[in-house]
Chains A and B, each alone.
Chain A
Amino acid sequence: MARYIDARATVLSAVLLAGCGSGSSGQGDGDASSGSAETQPPDSRGTTGGETDGADETGSTTGEPSECLTDERHFAWEVWSQTLQTKCLACHSDQGLASATRFVLRDDNGDSAALEANYAAFIDLATEYEGDDDRPVILRKPLGELGHGGGPVITEDSADYRRLDEAAMRLDAPTTECADDLDFLAGVELESPYATLRRFALNFAYRLPSASEIARVDEQGEAALGDIIEEMMDEEAFSDRTAEGFNDVFLTEGAAFNIAGLGTVNHPTLLWFLELPEPERGIALGCTSDGIVLAGNALIKNIVSENEPFSNVLLADYTMVNPFSARSFDVFDDITWTDPEDPEEFHPAQLHFSGAETELPHAGILNNYIYLDRYQSTPTNVNRARARAFLLHFLGVDILQFSPENSDPLATIAEYENPVRDASDCAICHLAVDPIAGVFRNYQSDAARYPGPVPEDTFPAGFELASDDDETVPVAERTWTDGLLPASREFDALLWLGEQAVADPRFATTMVEHIFGIVLGRPVLRAPSGELTPQTQGAFLAYEAQREALAEFRDVFVDSNYSVKAVVKAIVLSPFYRARFQDADSDEADAMRFDLGAGQLMTPEQLHRKILAIFGDSFQTYPAYEDALMEFGQYRILYGGIDSTEVTERIGEPNGLMAGIQQLVANNVSCRQVSREFDRPPGERLLFADVELSTFTGADEDQVRDTLVHLHERVIGERLAPDDPAIDISYDLFTRVRDRGAQELARGGVSLSLGRPCEAGSIVDDPDYVVRAWAAVLNYQMQSFEFLYQ
């Protein structure tokens, strides 16, 4: 059985094996009050601990790495991650300069099979000797001996050499087991089904779970959770959120798009709006540009919402248009519009080129105008920027990592007439990039139709290097045969490229990594580097566990015909999304589980939507009253967001300025929403449904506590009893602010009026300071970890 996909079974079995069986972890026992991290005071939450086969056995916290490493782990942690992957893989891969040698490595791609194959390749050369009985070939080649095509790569006094040497020596005295191996999940406790339901609903359905959905998980526990998640994924918000997440990868919203660059030769009605008078012309121009700029995200959204295989990101035979861009591409009349003036209404369409003898079939996002525009070609990079983006986005290959550190480009330029092709320091990357750049030949620098520039006198368009059994043959003399772009595919070259990519196992792995990042809010782990310490050992264990899980998720992806929803569901139900507690209290356990669980600061978009879902209104500031967290000119970038152009990486670790924004948001929203609530009829309220302001002027503690119980659940997802210590804190806050406010009012220290920032309709004054006391409670809740993190 897959280890990580059925989290309930896995963790529960770990708990049972541990012999604790307290039953308080709420694994689907139907008791809404049990198992929730939020429902139980820490001391009353039953531990899953006891004598687990994990942390307790690890014993000491000596600060020294574990002395026992199995040979496989030594190879994976030391030899592969530190040396082979960084020093050898670029050439010794199936697309590298040394692809024709017997030492061909595979990027591990999250599956143990690749690592096993690499270990086998290592053993092959570690057990072969050529003229030196003391040093096997694996030690001599990287020193530049035995005609190593790449020359010397390491030195004999380097850590790399020592690692290879030790791995080779280990073959004589194998270590296959270590008694103190830690179990990654033993003693790990998941959050309650309710907590997972709430987080998923806010993140992917842009709403709170409904009462009936909550009742289902309360009654059926885990069994209902998966079903409800599936139902939520059919809502529009899910595909919207998925597209937003993929934009963090593709960044197409950040294209500096100029519609005129597409040219009217291919699309004679491109600039249809020029016939309009102002201001309609300007509005239509903006909506048309939006239709093209957002077409990449719209494609993702359509693939997901229509349950198409996600391989269509490369293979879809359509693009997306809104009513305005549809006019530019002369397909408006082919589509039945719900609202032909709505720029956010997108439909699939196939574009045709006016007067062209040949069509250029769609190839998913690859020849979407906005993807081509976001990754523009220039006369000097001749589509290489697009090839680099393709490799990174769809095969997970960061070609810049291949760049050799100790090269001398100035000397290379002087020595070679065609260094890109003939100098190994250059060819190491260009061998992978240039053939793909050539496949973009049908598009010009600004995305318009062909003829576009291609790299000349370099590697031709193709995907595979023909077999060549001699690594010493200069690159320039190598031949390319079967892997060339078939002549019949000249005009659908990008579709051909997409087909090659989808058939490559790295495509599924890369897509799953992207999806994992979207769900968890942070990228997948990379293999640690540096000397082994307790922390790096733990990080390796975390990395291994995540890679194993990613391999399982990838299988789900492939088996479901590339279904995003299937993968999201698997991740959400796994410990990587749901783990919250551990029974261990050791440095080793902490080091190993440093990245386990959600606990991610929400993005500005997520925070905006959460506020909207909980309060029915957003964070808005005078005088514009826009959605201030969503505005680039206000708080979106400052709160760690991206503009997909200049700022392309989100800030995951908050700074003091972001804490200031959190405080501003809490001040603003709490102040505005309490008065808005009480200005509404009781039946329309979200926070104070059954009470009035007058209810709280006296000392009816029960009424206050009951209201606090509702607020704690609605605002921060805590399901508490009225006498819970957390309710006590809120109760004290409410009463102290109310009472101090009353005193201040009596002595004229504060205003009777709420003033513009906080008044709403009939709620203008606050004579008993009750509005502001409730605002203080909401304010406090909105600055909590439970509110700001997801």
Chain B
Amino acid sequence: MDRRTFLRALGAGGVALAASPSLTHAAEPYDGPLLLTINALGGWDVSNFCDPKGTAMNQRYDTGDIESAGAMNYAPLDDNAAFFERFHEDMLLLNGIDMKTAGHTEAARHVWSGVQADNNTPSLAALFAAHHVMGSDAPTPFISYGGFSRTGDLVPLTRLGNPLTLASIGLHERERGIPNQGRYVDDFALEEIYAARQARHDAAPTGELPRFRAQRATLFGNQLTVPLLRRYQEYMPDVNNTLDVWQSQIATSLACLKAGVGASASVYVSDFDTHSNHEELHGPKLMELLAAITFAIDRAGELDLLERMTIVITSEFSRTPEYGLNGGKDHWPNNSMLLMGPGITGNRVIGATDEGLVPRNLNLETLELDDAGERLLPGHVHAALREHLGLSEFGRDTGFDLSLPSVPLFA
């Protein structure tokens, strides 16, 4: 039984353990498809970004000033022009996604899992990692720095910290994780310790309740993967100490993905929830987000990951068309999403909103605007993403099927 199946069994009931793996087993890095999700935490204002309206809705620009790059219109603000000019050929933009809710928790669940109900459905990144780590030794298959990170008991969640701390874990036999520092333990002693652990594991008590057997196996399985951890340091950028907090998240995540210790990572840029002083606060946040996305793409390119990596960028929802108290904007149950990666044709926009930022109906077979059609929902998008990423069957098999049909986003 692999770790994924094992965790699932632990969550749902029966546990039947297969023969234990051996500590002498050489851990192999993961080298399959990758997924990076970037979350604008708090609810972004798409009308100041990728679904521009101007005049009545946006104090900082008029409708006539809206600009475009290829098929994409964007608000003529801040760093938008540079971003869209550079990336529009690579991006698929979805506008007018009906979130059905304007509450943070529910919307985050909906947009990142495709399911509005609270039924333990994992996030896309967790499902992706669970599927792809099967049979792999990746010690941190699903990395998350925050936001909606439910795993559905399919895969362990890993939180990462600062690079120095991570180094000390990877090179755990050395003080501070620095190669030329003093040793805590010699290599041959570690070999003997591994052998003793194996002997102890083999002599585990029989007749234990399933929870104890499951936890023992989890512990032992994770211990097998530890030697891979030190590989990530090889792929950290030299300019690490100059990175901001968002870039540091991304750099560390991408180093882990490159090192084969993980399959997916969820990072975020926070503080988009501008209920007051919206225009003053939200623009800088969007610039931070665009800088983070740009850094991620640049860094992934340097690491030669772009051919393997899908990138999904979105938020819980958008902001209200009107300004509220103290110049703020509240939650608005419409959303947009940016998608990039292998097999995704860019310079396309699917979906739209009306002048009041209300999602317009689509013919879900042609994806053309059609008043007689239906609104695009997160469930449609996730069904398509699952199909595109090869997760549909896995989702069904693990009890996390989606109730909505796929739509041809990637056709």
Could you tell me which A residues sit within 8 Å of B by CB distance? 37, 42-43, 45, 47, 188-189, 378-380, 400-401, 403, 405-410, 528-530, 534-536, 538-539, 542, 579-583, 585, 587, 590-597, 599-601, 621-622, 633-635, 637-638, 640, 646-647, 651, 653-664, 667-668, 670-671, 725-726, 729-730, 732-733, 736-737, 740-741, 744, 750, 755-758, 772-773, 775-776, 779-780, 783-785, 788-789
Contact = CB atoms under 8 A, between A and B. Distances in A.
Contact of A651 (B98, B159, B275): B159
A655 to B, nearest CB: 4
Contacts, number: 274
Interface string B207-224: 111111011101100110
A596 B211 contact: yes
A597 B212 contact: yes
A670 B197 CA distance: 15
Contact of A659 (B160, B173, B226, B275): B226
A581 B207 contact: yes
Contacts of B165: 633-635, 638
B192 A660 contact: no
Given A638-B161, A776-B185, 6 more contacts: A379-B275, A592-B13, A593-B210, A638-B159, A737-B189, A785-B212
B64 interface: no
Nearest to A410: B358
A638 B252 CA distance: 14
B116 interface: yes
Contacts of A596: 209, 211
B373 interface: no
Given A379-B326, A590-B15, A660 B170 contact: yes
B118 interface: yes
A580 B212 contact: yes
A726 B100 CA distance: 59
A570 to B, nearest CB: 20
A380 B324 contact: yes
A587 B210 CA distance: 10
A189 to B, nearest CB: 8
A638 B156 contact: no
Contacts of B7: 653
18 contacts: A380-B275, A380-B328, A400-B105, A581-B208, A582-B207, A582-B208, A621-B176, A638-B161, A654-B222, A660-B139, A661-B169, A663-B223, A741-B188, A744-B188, A750-B186, A755-B183, A773-B189, A779-B185
A783 B101 contact: no
A737 B192 contact: yes
B10 to A, nearest CB: 7
Contacts of A591: 13-14
A730 B175 contact: no
Contacts of B334: 410
B387 interface: no
What are the 5 A-B residue pairs with the smallest beta carbon separation, nearest first? Answer: A656-B139, A535-B13, A659-B222, A667-B184, A755-B182
Contacts of B169: 638, 657, 660-661, 664
A726 B218 CA distance: 21
Given A42-B206, A664-B169, A757 B103 contact: no
B207 A400 contact: no
B160 A622 contact: no
Interface in B135-184: 138-141, 146, 153, 156-162, 165-166, 168-170, 172-173, 175-176, 181-184
Contacts of A659: 139, 219, 222-223, 225-226
Contact of A733 (B105, B156, B196, B210): B196
B239 interface: no
Contacts of A379: 275-276, 324-326, 328
B95 to A, nearest CB: 15
A538 B14 contact: yes
A435 B85 CA distance: 51
B71 interface: no
B138 A651 contact: no
Contacts of B261: 656
Contacts of B102: 409
B325 A380 contact: yes
A726 B173 contact: no
A202 B13 CA distance: 29
B170 A729 contact: no
Contacts of A409: 100-102, 333
Given A45-B207, A651-B156, A779-B193, A656 B226 contact: yes
B316 interface: no
B284 to A, nearest CB: 19
A542 B185 CA distance: 44
Nearest to B210: A590
B387 to A, nearest CB: 23
Given A587-B16, A757-B182, A655 B215 contact: no
B228 interface: yes
Given A581-B209, A651-B157, A657 B106 contact: no
B101 A403 contact: yes
Contacts of B207: 42, 45, 47, 189, 581-583, 585
B25 interface: no
A448 to B, nearest CB: 17
Contacts of B205: 37, 42, 45, 581
A109 to B, nearest CB: 19
B118 A660 contact: no
Nearest to B153: A653
Nearest to A47: B207
Contacts of B52: none
A379 B275 CA distance: 8
Given A43-B206, A622-B176, A647-B159, A657 B229 contact: yes
Contacts of B19: none
B196 A528 contact: no
A516 B184 CA distance: 39
Contact of B209 (A582, A587, A784): A582
A638 B160 contact: yes
Interface in B305-349: 324-326, 328, 330, 333-334
A403 B333 CA distance: 14
Nearest to B399: A530
Contacts of B175: 621-622, 756-757
B76 interface: no
B242 interface: no
Nearest to B229: A660
Given A590-B16, A594-B210, A651-B159, A776 B192 contact: yes
A653 B156 contact: yes
Nearest to B6: A653
A42 B208 CA distance: 9
B333 A657 contact: no
B173 A667 contact: yes
Contacts of A188: 209
B200 A729 contact: yes
Contacts of B226: 656, 659-660, 663
A522 to B, nearest CB: 10
B359 A655 contact: no
Question: Which of A528, A633, A638 is packed against the most chain B CB atoms within 10 Å?
Answer: A638
Contact of A757 (B159, B183, B192, B211): B183
B139 A595 contact: no
B26 interface: no
B211 A656 contact: no
Pick the most buried of B9, B118, B226, B229: most chain A CB atoms within 10 A of its CB.
B226
B199 interface: yes
B119 interface: yes
B172 to A, nearest CB: 4
A780 B193 CA distance: 6
B18 interface: no
A730 B195 CA distance: 11
Contacts of A401: 118
Nearest to A412: B333
A595 B170 CA distance: 32
B200 A784 contact: yes
B150 to A, nearest CB: 10
